[in-house]
Every structure is written in C-alpha cells, then in structure tokens.
Amino acid sequence: MALVVQKYGGSSVGDANRIKQVARRIAQRREAGDDLVVVVSAMGDTTDELIALAEQITGEPEARELDLLLSTGEIVSSTLVSMALKHLGQPAVALSGAQAGIGTDRRYGRARILKVDPQRLRRELDEGKIVIVAGFQGITEEMDITTLGRGGSDTTAVAIAAALGAERCEIYTDVDGIYTADPRIEPRPSKLPEIRYEEMLELASYGAKVMHPRAVELGAVYKVRILVASSFNDSPGTLIHSTSSGQVHGGSPMMEQRNKVMGIACDADVGRITVRGVPDRPGIATTIFEPLAEAGISVDTIVQNASVERLTDLTFTVAKADLKRAVEIVKPVAQSIGAPEVLADTGLAKVSVVGAGMQSGPGYAARMFRTLFQEGINIELITTSEIRITCIIDEGRTEDAVRALHLAFELEEA
C-alpha cells in the first residue's frame, strides 16, 4: 500500500458530472489499496469569473483581498469532490490550503511555499480518509490567505508529496504526458515514458503548458517522482524523476538504452540586445547586468564574442515585453563605459535540443547545426548547457527547425 498524491486540474472538475467522474477514478484507486491525498484546482473558469467580479468593483483589486477572494474557488471544488467520494461510500475530508498546513510567504498572488506542516494531513490519512486539498493557496504566519500564482496547484501537490514522503505525485491534466516536441508544430511527436527533472525544465518552454517549471524544480529538490497523465483516459503518461540507473517502475526502457535526446523545445518570446564595442575589462558584465536585475528584468541567453583590440560585442536576450525597458536601462550604462552602440531586435526564436545524455556523446551539436544549415536556417546565436543546445534563429523558421530537428534526432512516434 503506497501513499500517492494526485492533482486534478480545473477542466477535470469543471462541472458536477466531471467531479463525479473524478471521484470514481479516485475511489477505484483507493479500492486498489493506495492511500491518497488529492489536490484540486478551481472548477473550470471559476478563477476568471471571480477576477471579473472584482473588476466590476475596482480596476485595481488589492492583492491581499484578491487572494482571499480567489482562494474560495479551490475550497468549493475540494468540498464537492469530498462530498462525491462520500456519496460513493469512501471516507473523505476536504481541507483548505491553510488547514492542510501549506505555509507561505506574504507575496500575494505569487506566494512561495515556505513549509508544509503535515500534522493534519497525517491524522486524516491515519483515520483512513482520502484527503482532498484545495490547491493554489496557503496561509502566512500572520494567518493571511495567499495564492501561489501560476502552476500553484501543481506546486501544492508536489510540496505535499515531499512533506509526506509520498511514493509519487500524479498530475492529471488534459494532455496525457510529455512529448518530444509541441504537437501543434510537430505532426508525429512521441510521448516520453519518462524524463529527468532537468530535461523537463529545459523542455519547459513548451512543457510549461503541461506542468509549470516551479513544480518540477520543487520535485527535483525533494526527489518527488512526478507522473504527468490524462484525467480523461488511462494512458500511462510520463514519469518525471531523477533515476539514472534504469531502475524505474512501470516498465520504462532502461536509461542506458534510451535516445539521449529527449525532445525539441522552442520559444518565440525573444528580444535581443547587442551592446557594440564594450571595453574588455573585469567588472564590465556586472556594470551592465546589475541595473537590469534591479529592475526585475530576467536576462536569458548571454553571449560575449572574443575580444578584438580589447573591445567586444555583448549580446543577450530578454522577454519581448521587457525589451523596451531593458534598452532604456542599458543605453546610459553603455554610454558611461564608452560603448558606442546599443542594438535591439525581435523577430527571433530559440530552438533547443534537450537531453541529459548529450554531454557524454559527441556530435549532437554538430548534427543540430548541420540540420539547420541543410534547411537553410541561419543561426544567429548559440548557447549550450550540460543538457541543452540552443540556437537563436529567425522566428519565421521556428516550425521548420523543430520538424527538421525532430526528424534528424529520430524522435518520431514509432
């Protein structure tokens, strides 16, 4: 008998009938012998409806009050799932995030979980109950209710799984797993039976639509095995884990035998800034990047060319929405250090090949570059991590690049 944490998203509990279906799934799993904690999102569009209600009152709802308001959405769905389970004869109890011991900081609307006090959860489990937890929410030390922001319910589930030492955390959603490429771009993507946390994070630029990176990161830190699967069918899904020995449950292929490239990611949200003629001396990078960090602008890819006559070009990317502000910050800095020019452009995309085995096998980068060359796609920038090779290319060629790389790395569905 294992302890399992499950999470069902908003579409899975969208109305009374779906709630009854989810309850039947949960009840079957319970009858199979597992102890269950089930985290639920708000029903369907509830959160959007509550926000619309607040906006009828005021254009700028206070973050604290908005969180208290929004937290009711998941409380409603949790109580209904609990009632549906009891109707099926299964002992169950619904807990708000506060009751489930989800302690957060005070960053309303995007609170981070600081701790999970599992006392109440354990007591209810010990009494043989299925525990239904309202996701997406927690409580501060001052007893104020917070919401966790994007990926909040996934994060609730992973945090509870970590705190209880659960066998695994199962994220049920409207897709049935993680694919080798975005199915909207690549017509023959393969579903991955398993993937490592790091790979999942690198794939997040499309994977985020399946599961938010913050929940994956939390899972990586606490080694929580996460299954992503469909709430509408019994397809096996994708297991996110850290196992490198091939000792994975559920009949997945041995890690050593698997294709070292796990998938192709792409992201069109790229704004590029190039600072021309930067003096090549210590501390220059700090001078440029510190003001950006202070302004809350995340810098993604950074490339510094080899220095010519003690001058270099520094190129980096930011989210498109931050581009204008970033240029305004960088221009005076560039002037102050004697760099003559700051260039900004968009119309770019990142395409990445991701896989944990790549660093031990040569030739992956070469194959990627050759593939793009054969497609006539120019590479603007290249960056690599231990498990990823990223090329920045013309945005208009993104789909061609993904399809060509998917083919070149033999990722098509078998």
Among 28, 31, 58, 128, binds a copy of itself (CB under 8 A): 58
Q: Do the beta carbons of residue 214 and residue 258 sit within 8 Å?
A: no
| Contact set for a copy of itself, span 124-153 (CB under 8 A) | 143-145
Q: Is there binding between residue 374 and a copy of itself (CB under 8 A)?
A: no
Among 38, 39, 75, 166, binds a copy of itself (CB under 8 A): 75
Q: Please state the closest distance from residue 38 (CB atom) to a copy of itself, in A.
A: 14
Among 3, 51, 76, 365, binds a copy of itself (CB under 8 A): 76
Q: Please state the closest distance from residue 75 (CB atom) to a copy of itself, in A.
A: 5
Q: Please state the closest distance from residue 245 (CB atom) to a copy of itself, in A.
A: 43
| Contact set for a copy of itself, span 8-27 (CB under 8 A) | 16, 19-20
| Contact set for a copy of itself, span 314-343 (CB under 8 A) | none
Q: How many chain residues are in contact with a copy of itself, going by CB under 8 A?
A: 39
Pick the stretch among 66-74, 199-207, 339-347, 352-360 that binds a copy of itself (CB under 8 A): 66-74
Cα 29 to the center of its chain, rounded Å: 27
Among 61, 152, 177, 355, binds a copy of itself (CB under 8 A): 61
| Contact flags string 86-125 toward a copy of itself, x per CB under 8 A | xx-----xx-x-xx--------------------x-----
Q: Of the two residues 36 and 240, which places its CB atom closer to a copy of itself in the complex? A: 36
> Exposed (0-12), middle (13-18) or buried (19+): which is 304, by Cβ within 10 Å?
middle
Q: Of the two residues 16 and 254, which places its CB atom closer to a copy of itself in the complex? A: 16
Angle formed by the axes of helices 152-164 and 213-222, to 10°?
10
Q: Of the two residues 85 and 292, which places its CB atom closer to a copy of itself in the complex? A: 85
Question: Distance between CA atoms of 284 and 286, rounded to whole angstroms?
Answer: 5
| Residues in contact with a copy of itself by the rule CB under 8 A | 16, 19-20, 50, 53-54, 56-62, 64-66, 68-69, 71-72, 75-76, 78-80, 82-84, 86-87, 93-94, 96, 98-99, 120, 143-145
